[in-house]
Amino acid sequence: MSLDTTAVKELVGQHAVDELVRSGMKVGLGTGSTAVWAVRRLGRLLQEGSLRDILAVATSSQTEMECQKLGIPLRNMNDPEIDGRIDVVIDGADEVDPQLNLTKGGGGALLREKVVAYAAGRVGIITDPSKIADRLGLNFPVPVEVVPMARLPVTRSLEAIGGKPEVRMAQRKMGAVITDNGNILLDVTFPEPFDPPLMERRINEIPGVVENGLFCGIEPVVYVGKESGEVETRTAR
């Protein structure tokens, strides 16, 4: 058996839901072309009645629309039923290093993804072998969400810590990508190796930065879907 890219994403998305989600849970739902398969699996299991009493928190307008289409009950992190904590989140990633530090935000949803992941009892990350990296920030830039008036001050500060930032430009609209939170994104490559947990903190110390796409120390379980139809599980512990 040799699955194509889409089938691998479907496989690993389904696998994570089957492994991690149980009736009665508060579930965070990630964003992207892999996470959407977890959303669809959850929708299917709810429709079939195999799962019940699920409340979901979406990490982007894309995921929110998918949930609405599938009838998945949505809440936000501030709703009393959620009360700022969720049981589990399932999300994709752009890069995963050997310590299971992540780069996320390729879909521009890093702020909400991080709020939800850091408020989750368990984080399941669904990937394929193309996401596994020796180190972060070389092949895939680190996205940084920035308030628009701070674009150039933040750019200069990121350059001072070794980054090469570029404004993420929109497609089929002139100008910069505007996030679900009304901010812009700087995509930052790092030609030299860096310490991910330290860099996550340093970037967030820059005034005007709202959040960055390095996710360190969340101890995720990482599922790696393979063309063979297998799913490898990686944990830090």
User: Contact with ligand 5RP (CB under 6 A): which of 108, 124, 165, 225?
Assistant: 108
> How far apart are CB 49 and ligand 5RP at their closest, in Å?
28
User: Contact with ligand 5RP (CB under 6 A): which of 105, 124, 165, 196?
Assistant: 105
Which stretch in 25-33, 69-77, 148-156, 169-177 sits in contact with ligand 5RP by CB under 6 A? Answer: 25-33
Cα–Cα distance, 168 to 208 (Å, whole number): 16
Which stretch in 63-71, 72-80, 89-97, 174-182 sits in contact with ligand 5RP by CB under 6 A? Answer: 89-97
User: Contact with ligand 5RP (CB under 6 A): which of 31, 101, 155, 212?
Assistant: 31
> How far apart are CB 80 and ligand 5RP at their closest, in Å?
27
Cα–Cα distance, 9 to 14 (Å, whole number): 8
Does residue 124 belong to the site contacting ligand 5RP (CB under 6 A)?
no
Does residue 43 belong to the site contacting ligand 5RP (CB under 6 A)?
no
Token pair, residue 87, equals 């049981």
> How far apart are CB 149 and ligand 5RP at their closest, in Å?
23
Q: Is 96 left (phi over 0), alpha (psi -120 to 50) or beta?
A: beta
Active site (annotated) includes residue 95: no
Tell me the number of residues near ligand 5RP by CB under 6 A. 18
Which stretch in 108-116, 163-171, 188-196, 223-231 sits in contact with ligand 5RP by CB under 6 A? Answer: 108-116
- Which candidate in 10, 66, 95, 113 is catalytic? 113
Cα–Cα distance, 161 to 199 (Å, whole number): 9
User: Phi and psi at residue 10, in whole multiples of 5°?
Assistant: -65, -45
- Catalytic residue positions? 113
